Amino acid sequence: MPLAPPASAASGGSRQTLLVLTTLRVSLHVMFAFLLIFGAVLALVGSVYQPRHTAIGVLTLTLGAIYLAGTVYEKRRGLPQRLRLAGFPLASGGTLPFSPAHLWLLVITGLWLALMCLDSSFTWAVFPVMFLYLHLLRPLAGVLATGALCLLAVALPLVGPAGFGLARLRAEGLTPGYLVGPTLGAMLAVVISFTYRALRQDAAHQFRLAEQLRAVQAELAQQQYRAGKIAERERLAREIHDTLAQGLSSIVLVSRAASNALESGDTALGRERLQVIEQSASTNLAEARRFIHDLASPALDSSVVGALSSLVASTQATQQAAGLDFRCSLTVDGDESAVNRLPEPIASTLVRVAQGALANVAAHSQASQAVMTLSLWPGEVALDVCDNGVGFDVRALSPVTDKAEVALAEGSTGYGLISLTARVDQVGGTLNIESSPGAGTALSVRLPVEGVLAAPASGGNYDC
């Protein structure tokens, strides 16, 4: 029961503090055992047997056994909950908390007093008992109890049943050692006990801080995990929207046109449109396979310019297969080799933005012509997509990141502008849209690139 650091402190305090606490606790037990055995030896060895020697032996063994039982019980199982026993009224109307540890301490004290009444050799065993009172009681109560034990340790050897007696005290006077020894021991016990209490509180405080830190770290990890899940879902949504969803939409559109051609008896046109469906399905199958493996675009296997050219050509073929008079072209202003050396995130963003922009043109603009321009500037690459379609009110899309407004502007199925904006933001670029009803639409994207591009040079025109 005495001087055992709480389990919480033992698991969270610093190693140095815990080492000091453990050393103090073990030292107390060793000191009690040594002083008890030392007192028994002085009382029993070197004197003629007397009946009281049997009582000294029994009491010594009983005291040692009870002390050991209490410390082992506390170490292995911990202290029971406090009990409230009758007979200890308080001014507040409650009762004085009284635990089995206090009962154990009273038994230890009673046995020590019994030994002192039989032989004053057990005087020094009072010092470990002082530590117990200082540890188990409140600070003030512990100090008062220590003072009382000190008085008993001074008085019993002088005037107790086994003491020297008042006659000898009058004849020889009071030896200073009888006063200095117990008093100095009591003072030292108080100082060490308060030091132990401060170290124990510090260890408990460190444990609480460590627990709070672990809780904060766990919460932070959980938040990061949730944020990662949300970011991954958004990324997958953009990938699916920019690849499979748009490809499937084109297949549905062309399949309707092919069905109309076959119903009208134009098998040649129907066969041509079926070929477009087959090509679009093959492209989307390749996208799906690469999406499963590494989420990169198959169009980037060759070059950025080649990927954009394929997008322009496939968009024009799909629209024409659907029976629309539509032309699409790509113009590159600058060094194509520099474009093909763009970092993968920039190149992938350009291709995905181009896919989304052309998909919006095909789905919403009702345009007959679209022009894509890729421009190279020092430290920047620009992609512009313009069409001559019906246009729309740009103010309805402000801010672009408002999903509700974008969905209304794009007809409740729109996720395209949200996806484009998110992609551009990820690489630190900017996206601007200029449009008005009846005047077409112009989408412009600027992406920062350093150490790759040169000033614009004569490029190529890819008119499909």
Q: What is the pLDDT of residue 94?
A: 43
User: In 3D, which of 359, 354, 266, 348 has the Cα closest to residue 319?
Assistant: 359
State what percent of residues in the chain have pLDDT above 70: 74
Q: What is the pLDDT of residue 6?
A: 46
User: In 3D, which of 118, 115, 123, 126 has the Cα closest to residue 59?
Assistant: 115
Q: Note the pLDDT tens digit of each residue in 278-303.
A: 777 777 777 777 666 655 554 555 68
Who's near 26: CB < 8 A, 6+ residues apart?
none
Average of pLDDT values for 58-64?
92
Q: What is the pLDDT of residue 91?
A: 38
With cut-offs at 50, 70 and 90, classify the pLDDT of residue 175.
low
Question: Does the predicted model carry a pTM greater than 0.85?
Answer: no
Q: What is the pLDDT of residue 93?
A: 42
User: In 3D, which of 156, 118, 109, 117 has the Cα closest to residue 136?
Assistant: 109
Q: Which residue did the predictor score with more confidence, 404 or 458?
A: 458
125 burial type by CB count under 10 A (0-12 exposed, 13-18 middle, 19+ buried):
buried
Q: What is the pLDDT of residue 384?
A: 93
With cut-offs at 50, 70 and 90, classify the pLDDT of residue 447.
very high
Half-sphere CA count of 433, side-chain side, radius 13 A: 24
The phi, psi pair for 442, rounded to 5°, reads -125, 120
With cut-offs at 50, 70 and 90, classify the pLDDT of residue 29.
confident
Q: Note the pLDDT tens digit of each residue in 306-339.
A: 888 888 888 888 787 777 888 999 998 888 888 8
Q: How far is CA 298 from the centre of its chain?
A: 38
Q: Note the pLDDT tens digit of each residue in 102-126.
A: 888 899 999 999 998 888 888 888 8
- 408-411 long-range CB contacts below 8 Å, 24 or more apart? 410/360, 410/364, 411/364
Cis peptide before 161 (omega within 30 of 0): no
Q: Which residue did the predictor score with more confidence, 48 or 374?
A: 374
Q: What is the pLDDT of residue 69?
A: 87
Q: Note the pLDDT tens digit of each residue in 204-245.
A: 788 788 888 888 888 888 888 788 777 767 767 766 666 667
For 158-244, list the strands marked E by DSSP: none
Q: How many Å is the maximal CA-CA distance in the chain? A: 143
State what percent of residues in the chain have pLDDT above 90: 9
